[in-house]
Amino acid sequence: MRRLAPPARTSPVSGGGGGRAGTAQTVRGHEAHRRSCSPRSVPRGSRSCNSSSPQEPVVAAHLEQISDAELVVRARDRGDGVALDELLRRHRDTAYRVALRICLNPAEAEDIAQESLVRAWRSLGRFRSDAAFSTWLYRITTNTALKRAGRRTDVVMAELPEPPGPDLDPAGRVVQRERLAVAIAALAALAPQQRACWVLREVEGLSYDELAEVLGLTLAAVKGRLFRARAELTAALARYDQDTPTENTPNEDTPTKDVP
């Protein structure tokens, strides 16, 4: 299944001038090359998304037009396994993506995402219909990831994506890869809640009110954690930019996003 594109950022953090990528778009590249690593299974008890039934493609095509709220009603109140399948399929990449950006370890992120989907499936009867299913799943996934997260020492960065853009010379590509490594290391050094707050705001695009709901914090606490996270990440990239020769910096017209 094709991985879903990440939501647009609402407040990018600048990592320095000279046309260099901001922190959020830099970190987004960490998992771009792992698009095939997202969870491929759904919780036991629901129908498989890979059913070979000849009627399923027609059913699936129909369900794609149905809202999350209606799928929840069908799955929760009517015991519709096909609706449950579609609901979990629709959101499993988001669960993996959030888990990966918080725990920074692909294998662990797969476990967290699968555990989160199982929890959502088992708790669906307690889901309040006045809330968005996506926000509810963000909370489950974030809480599951935070239980395992710490200041990471096991960050997987062995396979960094190549910077896009045919105009980047070899030196420019080296700079972009190094900046990605710096950004990921800085993200890993954050306190877990700061990291989660930054990921959900800068990369996933949640509002401050949604952040407070997902993390169970006050608005003031959310803003404080986000301010500190932004400051740490921006400072880390600024230090790198200051120490990097300017001739290796891509020009302002060079594309710098790791993920379209």
Low pLDDT (below 70) residues in the chain: 1-61, 150-168, 245-260
- Classify 44 as helix, strand or coil: strand
Burial call 231-255: b when 16+ CB within 10 Å, e when fewer? ebbbebbeebbeebeeeebbeeebe
Domain presence at residue 175: yes
State the pLDDT at residue 230: 96
Rounded-to-integer distance, Cα 185 and Cα 70, Å: 41
Number of domains observed in the structure of the chain: 1
Domain presence at residue 257: no
Domain range enclosing 123: 23-248
Dihedral angle sign, alpha carbons of residues 179, 191, 202, 223: negative
pLDDT digits (tens, 9 = 90+) for 144-157: 999 887 655 556 54
Domain presence at residue 85: yes
State the pLDDT at residue 213: 93
Domain presence at residue 182: yes
State the pLDDT at residue 148: 84
State the pLDDT at residue 242: 87
State the pLDDT at residue 150: 60
Dihedral angle sign, alpha carbons of residues 152, 153, 159, 163: positive
Which CATH number goes with the domain that contains 194?
1.10.1740.10
Report how far apart, in Å, the C-alpha atoms of 243 and of each of 10, 162, 170, 179, 246 are: 29, 22, 18, 11, 9
Domain presence at residue 86: yes
For residue 46, what are the β-bridge partners?
44
State the pLDDT at residue 14: 31
Q: How many whole angstroms from its chain centre is CA 112?
A: 12
Determine contact, residues 26/180, Cβ cutoff 8 Å: yes
pLDDT digits (tens, 9 = 90+) for 29-67: 444 434 444 444 445 445 444 443 444 443 556 777 889
State the pLDDT at residue 220: 97
Domain presence at residue 193: yes
Domain presence at residue 260: no
User: Which of 216, 213, 211 minimizes the C-alpha distance to 197?
Assistant: 211
Domain presence at residue 6: no
The amino acid at residue 170 is P
State the pLDDT at residue 2: 37
